[in-house]
Amino acid sequence: MSTAINPVPSLEAQAVVSVVSEIPDSTQSVGVLVGSDGAVASSLGFDRDRLNALGFTGAVGETLVIPPSNGPITVVVGIGDGLTDLRSVGAAFARASGKLTDLALDLTALPGSVDDPSVAEAVVEGVLLSRYHYPVLKNEAPGAPVERLTLVGSGAASAGAERGRVLARATALARDLANTPHSHLSATRFSEIAIELGPRFGVDVEVFEPEALVEMKMAGLLAINAGSAEEARLIKLSYRPEGAAGSLALVGKGLMYDSGGLSLKPSDAVHAQMKNDMSGAAAVFAAMLSLGDLGCTTSVTGYLACTDNMPSGTATALGDVITYRDGTTVEMLDTDAEGRVVMADTLILAREQGVDAVVDIATLTGSAMRALGSDIAALFANNDAIAAQVEAASENSGESVWRLPLHKPYRQAIDSLTADMMNCAPIGKPDAIIASLFLSHFVGDVPWAHIDMCGPAQADSATGLQVPGCSGWGARVLAHIALGFTPPAS
């Protein structure tokens, strides 16, 4: 089992981001923003007719590179009608700059940008994340991350640029962790990384090993871990700002690798992506490491239930019944429906802790992916106020969610002859909803939202700030939930 690689290279390769009034001499690539109509910056030396003749219409994401004989290149970047999809604007500029690492972009051409920090935030995220790659196991680097980004703008842009830098770092960290193959990132290794990095970012870390997990009756985590040669770990993260205004628990699914267990998955491309089945835990971890730098005033506890799911002679059998810490019994109909089984333990812990609300995030069901595709995560909630806070955070982070119903009549599909519930319904039922109903049992009446990020966990192409591979989805939306959190009435 190798642990020699660095699973979090993005933390060492952090970009310097600043807001100034003039472009510095070191800049290698200067972005000039041009809309689909209106004035064209005179610094370009081109008018709109000339741009049109070159095929440049000013649509969002369109670019035109003008390389001089010496000095920085100019990249004309389309912004459409002005303030839509600024992450794609930043991403288009960064991609058109190739492997150049010192970039500058004048924001003053954007209408209203001077007073709106969220503009700089979105542009910075687009620039930095579109140039991300996972370099650790490749002998030749496929690209170069941006090292310096200078924005020309006002003081108001500075706060947004800094927030964008921190949130891009969080997303890159989540991408690093999800992209790291299984043999390099076991539950134990993840817990070591948490212990190493947590205190550096103002987060206390407690790790619970198998003996403690038995004592705590973490029945789901232990049942799913039963077939594995690797031990399970429960990682508890605590962010406790002075004079906190409310308390929130974040629960992440941490399946370091999901083979399906005895309900073994077929050997196909989807199975080969299952190192990403800890993307929920990675998002919680990365979001929590950003809270101190973002000045978050909510008290946040993270619960990461980490294990792999393997078939062997000691694996949990189908038809087995497990008994949870709160007394609930569950019959295992299918060991590939393992995420909800593992997360139930931590939802019980969060409920017992007495927090104001719980938000969980998981690569939970193919059903959610089939319903909403790879751009949108499914949202479920037992409380409209917390659902609205997740939706608002999603608007701010640019990570889309769509609320689906927690339709209680479907609960009977997981009635069991021998236990209180089965862990899933027979094939053909709406599994995203049924999984949510299963999870909702364990939070009781605590305000709770569940984000099923199975679709957006993986990106197929370089689109907007996405690059192919694990997307790091969710780190930003969780950070925004914590930043904007108000205790909902239960």
Per CB under 5 A, residues contacting Mn ion are: 255, 258, 277, 336, 338-339
Query: For Mn ion, which is the closer residue by CB, 339 or 472?
Result: 339
Q: Is 340 part of the annotated catalytic residue set?
A: yes
Dist. CA 249–CA 404, nearest whole Å: 22
Phi, psi of 366 (to 5 degrees): -60, -25
Cβ neighbours of 370 (radius 10 Å): 12
Q: Is 265 part of the annotated catalytic residue set?
A: yes
- Closest approach, Cβ 309 to Mn ion, in A, equals 6
Cβ neighbours of 389 (radius 10 Å): 24
Query: For Mn ion, which is the closer residue by CB, 230 or 277?
Result: 277
Residue 59 zone, left/alpha/beta (φ > 0; ψ -120 to 50; rest)? beta
Catalytic residue among 265, 325, 403, 411: 265
Cα separation values, 421 from 143, 320, 416, Å: 49, 12, 5
CA 256 to chain centre: 15
- Closest approach, Cβ 437 to Mn ion, in A, equals 18
- Closest approach, Cβ 260 to Mn ion, in A, equals 5
Handedness of CA 10, 164, 202, 221 (dihedral sign): negative
Structure tokens at 374: 């790879």
Residue 158 zone, left/alpha/beta (φ > 0; ψ -120 to 50; rest)? alpha
- Closest approach, Cβ 339 to Mn ion, in A, equals 4
Query: For Mn ion, which is the closer residue by CB, 271 or 411?
Result: 271
Dist. CA 238–CA 357, nearest whole Å: 15
- Closest approach, Cβ 121 to Mn ion, in A, equals 32
Q: Which residues are CB-contacts of 225 (< 8 A; sequence separation ≥ 6)?
A: 210, 231, 232, 307, 308
- Closest approach, Cβ 88 to Mn ion, in A, equals 31
Among candidate residues 297, 185, 168, 276, the one with its CA nearest the CA of residue 235 = 185
Query: For Mn ion, which is the closer residue by CB, 336 or 356?
Result: 336
CA 401 to chain centre: 12
Query: For Mn ion, which is the closer residue by CB, 97 or 316?
Result: 316
- Match 């980004």 to its residue by tokens: 149
- Closest approach, Cβ 255 to Mn ion, in A, equals 5
Phi, psi of 384 (to 5 degrees): -65, -35
User: In one letter, which amino acid is 99?
Assistant: K
Query: For Mn ion, which is the closer residue by CB, 241 or 311?
Result: 311
Instruction: State which H helix or E strand residue 384 sits in.
Output: helix 384-397
Catalytic residue among 165, 340, 351, 476: 340
Query: For Mn ion, which is the closer residue by CB, 239 or 303?
Result: 303
Catalytic residues: 265, 340
